Structure 1
């Protein structure tokens, strides 16, 4: 089986894109952390939807809470679940 130049080039480009996405993800997390710290120091109130989400969580409607946070904040399913899990963890 012979590997063509195009296949090797596509593989190299794929690896490059993969590692670039990982690098960007790390930067975004760093920026988010910095913004969270700045908003706490500046006294900026949290997102108003959080109160509604906490109410849904207290009623045991985690699925509805994930759906609401996804619709409101435009998060993916995984990000929405992580957001709800973080709200649940702060109430423990």
Structure 2
């Protein structure tokens, strides 16, 4: 049996959406790089929650620190872990 017209259209839509998502991810990465460059040039005040996150890390509550960071900043799990790891390393 061959592919129906609806299957073909569905496949084309999926490919189109994956391409768009990939392009958006690249744009976001470029924007993040620009933001990082700008913030390295300008001394911005540290987010107030960092004090609480450092205390959680000091208390050995890494998972709770990641959860708090995710809630505060709307981060993914990976981004939250990276943020907390940066705090942990002193950067």
Aligned to 2:86: 86
- Give the drift of 1:23: 1.4
Structure 1 stretches of at least 4 aligned residues deviating more than 6 Å after TM superposition: none
Aligned to 1:72: 72
- Give the drift of 1:86: 3.1
Aligned to 1:31: 31
Q: Which has the higher mean CA deviation after the structures are superposed, 9-18 or 39-48?
A: 39-48
Scaled by the length of structure 2, the TM-score of the pair is 0.82
Superposition RMSD in Å: 1.9
- Give the drift of 1:28: 0.7
- Give the drift of 1:76: 2.5
Aligned to 2:22: 22
Scaled by the length of structure 1, the TM-score of the pair is 0.81
- Give the drift of 1:81: 2.3
CA distance in 2 between counterparts of 1:46 and 1:40 reads 13
Listed one character per residue, the Cα deviations across residues 33-71 of structure 1 (whole Å, up to 9, x for unaligned) are 211221221211232222221221122101111111121
Number of aligned residue pairs: 91
* Structure 1 unmatched ranges of 5 or more: none
